Amino acid sequence: MVYIQNDQIQSNVPSAWYSSLENFIVKGKNAEIWDSEGNRFLDYVGGYAVLNTGHLHPRVVDRVKNQLDNFSHSCFAFAPHENAVKLSEELNNRYPIDTETKTFMVNSGAEAVENAVKIARYYTNKKAILSFKGGFHGRTYLAMGLTGKDKPYKEGFGPFPEFVKHAVYPYSYRDISDEDALMSVKDVLNNQLDPNNTAAIVIEIELGEGGYIPASSNFLSQLRDICDKNNILLIFDEVQTGYGRTGNMFGAETVGVKPDIVTLAKGIAGGFPLAAVLGKSEIMDSIHEAGIGSTFGASPVSCAAALGVLDAFDNEDILKNANKQAKTMNAVLSNLMNDFDFIGDVRGYGPMIGVEIVSDKESKNPDKEKTQQIISNCKENGLLLVSCGEFGNVIRFMGPLTTPLEQVEEVLEIFSESVI
């Protein structure tokens, strides 16, 4: 085997795209990966919250192999294929919106968000969009515009669309209450935008990149009311909260609030690139003929993989396991929070848990350096984690929901040894 050293990465890819790990990964199996030096890690980065069903889930692999025996690509707009329609039907049946829904498939989270906004603007014939500080929606221009975290995502890349404005996201640990956030939404709507010209509010149910901060049911249902009163569409960006991350199949079930449109990606196809925009049929069908589309969207291989993922959810108690994981993790992490002054908060829906690192509980000053030290100790001990949050001081757990409980315990043991 040829071992590629870091300098080989450095001479061939832009520095902004350097990897965190020094060695190539050569093998993955459920929650474990191995690198070219033979090191084994528990993968709680999971390809950035993609591997909800783990590396190479057998049901995903079988479906993909089967698909590859037949054909690998067809542009759906020209030659339809059954897996895309089956998957759309499954998603329409499963996503908790009361009216009939329809689903359109693209390649990435950003592309799904772009299309959701495009569809909302067309349907409402309104222009402006409200999103949230701390929110992350992707790296294309409109998605960057919607994103409410400047560094590293937006800095130097402007200008961004003028018709997007940001409200404050609720953050109880830092004293931003639901009421404060709702006031901010109303203020932005009335003073920076015009509710009569606002097409949609785009929000994550729990901030991902923004620091694993959950929004409450109370806040989201009041947001729903604001949308209803002003003919504004509510778009949930469930790219990260979907597919079991919050303990239910979809975050909307966890909070009991229903959007008009939702974006899904990441875990939807078990590691293959795929994203979906699902919305009320009346909205989705409003677009003129060929007004939406994508060459690679609904790739037959990714759709096959996605049906394998649903098979796994239907037959393997994945949600039950996700909630058991969450219970075990919360118990251990809360004890650590009681023991250590620098663990300020442990929070999140289901297994989508963030641990906020501060210099001490009283000042709550974000401690990025300590955060990086803990992450680096974990890596030395065989556990992969990354940070998030405005100040880079939140450690997030994005491992497979299929991780066996013994390995969840191993994760927590390593973490406990590494925080000291």
Ligand X SMILES: Cc1ncc(COP(=O)(O)O)c(C=O)c1O
Binding site for ligand X (CB under 6 A): 48, 108-110, 113, 136-138, 204, 208-209, 237, 239-240, 265
Helix or strand (DSSP H, E) at 131: strand 128-132
Q: What is the DSSP string of 136-176?
A: ---SSHHHHHH----TTTTTTS----TTEEEEPPPBGGGTB
Identity of the residue, 110 or 419, whose beta carbon is nearer to ligand X in the bound complex:
110
Which residue number has the CB closest to ligand X? 109
How far apart are alpha carbons 268 and 50 in whole angstroms? 8
Q: 275 or 419: whose CB is closer to ligand X? A: 275
Rounded to a whole number of angstroms, the minimum distance from the CB of residue 11 to ligand X is 26
Nearest CB to ligand X, comparing residues 264 and 343: 264
Lookup: tokens for 303:
């759709």
Whole-number minimum distance, CB 238 to ligand X, in Å? Answer: 8
Closest separation in Å from C-beta 13 to ligand X: 17
Beta carbon of residue 388, minimum distance to ligand X (angstroms, whole number)? 10
Q: How far apart are CA 355 and CA 415, in angstroms?
A: 11
- Name the minimum Å distance from CB 397 to ligand X: 15
| Cis bond before residue 400 (omega within 30° of 0) | no
Q: Cα(312)–Cα(2) distance, rounded to whole angstroms?
A: 35
| Phi/psi of residue 241, nearest 5 degrees | -85, -10
Is the peptide bond preceding residue 161 cis, with omega within 30 degrees of 0? no
Report which secondary-structure segment, H or E, holds 279.
strand 275-280
For residues 354 and 367, which CB has a smaller minimum distance to ligand X in the complex?
354
Q: Are 222 and 356 in contact, with CB atoms under 8 Å apart? A: no
Q: How far is the CB of 350 from ligand X (least distance, A)?
A: 16
Nearer to ligand X, 108 or 407 (CB): 108
CA torsion sign for 157, 235, 223, 347 is negative
The residue (of 352 and 419) whose beta carbon lies closer to ligand X is 352
CB of 142 to ligand X, least distance (A): 12
Q: Which is nearer to ligand X, 108 or 371 (CB)?
A: 108
Element (H, E) at 420: none
